[in-house]
Amino acid sequence: MSQNSARTPRINDLANRIDVGFREALLAAMGESAATTDPSIKVAANPKFGDFQANFAMGLAKSLATTLGKNPREVAQLVVDHLPQSLRDLCEPMEIAGPGFVNIRLKPEFIAVALTEMDIPSLGVSDAQGTHSVAVDLCGVNVAKQMHVGHLRATIIGDTISRLYERLGWKVFRQNHLGDWGLPIAMTLAALRRAKTDINRVTLDDLNTAYRNAQMQGRDDEAGLAAARATHVGPHRIAELEAQHDGASAALSDAHDTLRRLQSGDTAIVADWQKLIDVTMREVYETAQILRVDLKPEHNRGESFFRDRLVSTVDAFVSANLAVRDDGALVVRFADRERPLLIQKSDGTSLYATTDLAAARYRIQDLGAELVVYCVDARQRDHFRDVFDAVRLIGWTKRSDDSQASLVHVPFGAVLGADKRPLKTRSGENFTLKALLDEAVARGRREVRSRAAVPDAPTSGMSGAELDAIGEAVGIAAIKYADLSCDVGRDYVFDLDRMVSFEGDTGPYAQYAHARISGILAKAGANGATSPIIIGAPEERALAFNLLRYPSAIEDAAVQLAPNRIAAFIYELANTFNAFYQSCPVLRGVDDATRCSRLRLCDLTRRVLADALSIMAISAPARM
């Protein structure tokens, strides 16, 4: 933690200082009988009553009724009379309200000092300077398949959580757990080779089709064939089923042979397999760039990365007497549920769970992560509960310094269409992520060009290329903010009309607030960065308190793994600034000191908005 950020007062710090002062007063006024009393310091719900409120008097008056003989208002006044001078110096005279509430209002000059100390490059945010580390499992695409809407959530939620911790100075390990190993990939590769496809020229669309076809070719309806024979449905239907059965058996045999050759390091097979990965990841990286997500080749830790660790993973559970045979397979059992965790099939092959166990061990033991976060959809909740419990059972959460690492699943909900069902195209297929982003960019560009057509618009007269760039930023912000502003675990309805709106709780609204402030500062020709801050009007006070909340908002969002809390902060700050700007003239009609102070408030608000948006990897245009 840097020295500057450590001394910057935050809303939580201010509440703590008030809490300490009231605890001292309780002890001084009433002795040991009140030593454990919680002053219950809260941010005031209504600013007209103050900045904070203490609500201890009613409970204390009731519990000590026989010894005190005072009503709650008298108890509150007695404690206020014993407050230390250090707290009195920060606050206006306190007011006893209602049945004993203590309304607390900070002195304007102290708020100004707090803002001045926050007005540094770090914006008052703590910096762990790499003393903590977190691994974040994000994206997780399957090779030879196009990214779909679910990958949007896994990617941007994971990236935002990574950025939250990076902003706090943690060392962050992004982990893209690719589905790049095993039978499904071998089936696709075998199908391409049977078709004599030129893999050097194959596209992701080709791979997507080949993947589906391979799954169809390997589908064996043995039960249907047996039923057809038993019921004598006719020779033609039986012949069809026999052909399907024979074809599926041949395709599966070819896939298993391809997998064996891949696992044994066959040069030609491995080279073709790598080409499938390259084609898949080319589009993933392009999509990540459009989304402004930090996802690069060095972040890839796919199933293939852990293939040489699977045997030792299973052996470790066997040696620890944690894996038992069940009909030839190896499973890990748990005392509190009937469902076991299957870690090896009866034929000796591994599963997703085996790879996840190896990955968790790598992330904690090799990378040294003290926190491992998995951004994977909610349908995998039970799977990760089992994997995490197995890792704890075998003791792999213990780090080199004997501390315990934490494993956390951030389960996200689905993206729904207007019919409240998982988002599909009109043809009933899953929406590809590329199609979704293309539509968002097109809509953003139309909206920006429409606004630029107004003669006095800030963007009037800009070139088409400049407008398109802003439009793309607006469209991507619309998609990302709508997703990240929701409670991660909930489904949400995809409504592009609402998302691209410049009004309400949307990405473009937040971007427009930043652009508006940038325009104010540009007109002023200076930002007032060194001018003393003056807090007078209620709207200035409200804006100041929102700004002071920023460091705590980041820490809270990181601890709770809740990107929506950053979005909520951004929306509230934009609203508070708009109220300030409507009521507090900045450029005209005020004296120089007030003008410079308000320009400094504008500049600080602009920087905080840009910083908060950067945590969500959303751009902050200067003109819109």
| Residues ≥6 apart with Cβ < 8 Å to 460 | 452, 453, 454
- Model confidence at 228, pLDDT cuts 50, 70, 90, reads very low
Q: For helices 592-615 and 507-524, what crossing angle results, to 10°?
A: 150
Whether the per-residue pLDDT at 491 is higher than 90: the answer is yes
**Shared-domain flag, residues 20 and 94:** yes
Range of the domain at 499: 433-615
Number of structural domains the chain divides into: 4
106 forms bridges with which residues in the sheet?
91
Q: Which residues of 214-234 are buried (b: 16+ CB within 10 A; e: fewer)?
A: beebbebeeeebeebeeeeee
Q: Are strands 133-138 and 171-176 parallel, antiparallel or unpaired?
A: parallel
Q: What percent of the chain has pLDDT over 90?
A: 76
How do residues 524-538 score in pLDDT, each as one tens digit? Answer: 986 556 789 999 999
Say how far apart CA 257 and CA 189 lie, in whole Å.
11
Say how far apart CA 1 and CA 445 lie, in whole Å.
42
The mean pLDDT value of the chain amounts to 90
Whether the per-residue pLDDT at 403 is higher than 90: the answer is yes
How much is the average pLDDT of 230-246?
A: 49
Half-sphere exposure of 24 (CA within 13 A, CB side): 14
- Model confidence at 212, pLDDT cuts 50, 70, 90, reads confident
Q: What pLDDT score does 6 carry?
A: 36
Whether the per-residue pLDDT at 521 is higher than 50: the answer is yes
Domain boundary among 381, 415, 449: 415
Whether the per-residue pLDDT at 518 is higher than 60: the answer is yes
Q: What pLDDT score does 333 carry?
A: 97
More confident residue, 234 or 92: 92
How do residues 6-17 score in pLDDT, each as one tens digit? Answer: 334 466 678 888
| Residues ≥6 apart with Cβ < 8 Å to 532 | 112, 116, 593, 596, 597
How much is the average pLDDT of 265-285?
A: 95
**Shared-domain flag, residues 495 and 611:** yes
Q: What pLDDT score does 431 carry?
A: 78
How much is the average pLDDT of 106-123?
A: 94
How do residues 561-586 score in pLDDT, each as one tens digit? Answer: 999 999 999 999 999 999 999 999 99
CATH of residue 379's domain is 3.40.50.620
Out of 37-41, 176-180, 426-430, 507-511, which region has the weakest mean confidence (pLDDT)?
A: 426-430
**Shared-domain flag, residues 520 and 402:** no
Whether the per-residue pLDDT at 343 is higher than 90: the answer is yes
**Shared-domain flag, residues 101 and 151:** no
In a domain, 124, yes or no: no
Out of 192-201, 285-294, 424-433, 514-523, which region has the weakest mean confidence (pLDDT)?
A: 424-433
**Shared-domain flag, residues 447 and 590:** yes
Say how far apart CA 344 and CA 310 lie, in whole Å.
10
The answer to whether residues 473 and 466 touch, using CB atoms and an 8 Å cutoff, is no
The answer to whether residues 171 and 210 touch, using CB atoms and an 8 Å cutoff, is no
In a domain, 420, yes or no: no
In a domain, 259, yes or no: yes
CA distances from 191 to 67, 199, 273 (A): 86, 11, 12
How many Cβ atoms from other residues are within 10 Å of residue 298's Cβ?
8
Domain boundary among 247, 264, 281: 264
**Shared-domain flag, residues 446 and 408:** no
Residue 304, Cα to own-chain centre: how many angstroms?
Answer: 26
Q: What pLDDT score does 64 carry?
A: 75
Q: What pLDDT score does 8 carry?
A: 44
Say how far apart CA 65 and CA 204 lie, in whole Å.
76
In a domain, 536, yes or no: yes
Whether the per-residue pLDDT at 169 is higher than 70: the answer is yes
Whether the per-residue pLDDT at 414 is higher than 50: the answer is yes
Burial of 622 by CB count in 10 Å (0-12 exposed, 13-18 middle, 19+ buried)?
A: middle
In a domain, 282, yes or no: no
**Shared-domain flag, residues 592 and 471:** yes
How much is the average pLDDT of 427-441?
A: 84
CATH of residue 28's domain is 3.30.1360.70
Q: What pLDDT score does 565 carry?
A: 97
**Shared-domain flag, residues 486 and 574:** yes
pTM (global) more than 0.85: yes
Domain boundary among 89, 106, 123: 106
Q: What pLDDT score does 35 carry?
A: 84
Say how far apart CA 42 and CA 15 lie, in whole Å.
7
Q: Where are the alpha helices (DSSP H) in 174-221?
A: 183-194, 204-217
Please give the DSSP secondary-structure letter assigned to residue 528. Answer: -
Whether the per-residue pLDDT at 324 is higher than 80: the answer is yes
**Shared-domain flag, residues 513 and 606:** yes
**Shared-domain flag, residues 10 and 60:** yes
Whether the per-residue pLDDT at 450 is higher than 70: the answer is yes
In a domain, 127, yes or no: no
In a domain, 621, yes or no: no
Q: What pLDDT score does 223 carry?
A: 53
In a domain, 121, yes or no: no
CATH of residue 552's domain is 1.10.730.10
**Shared-domain flag, residues 172 and 310:** yes
**Shared-domain flag, residues 509 and 596:** yes
Q: What pLDDT score does 2 carry?
A: 36
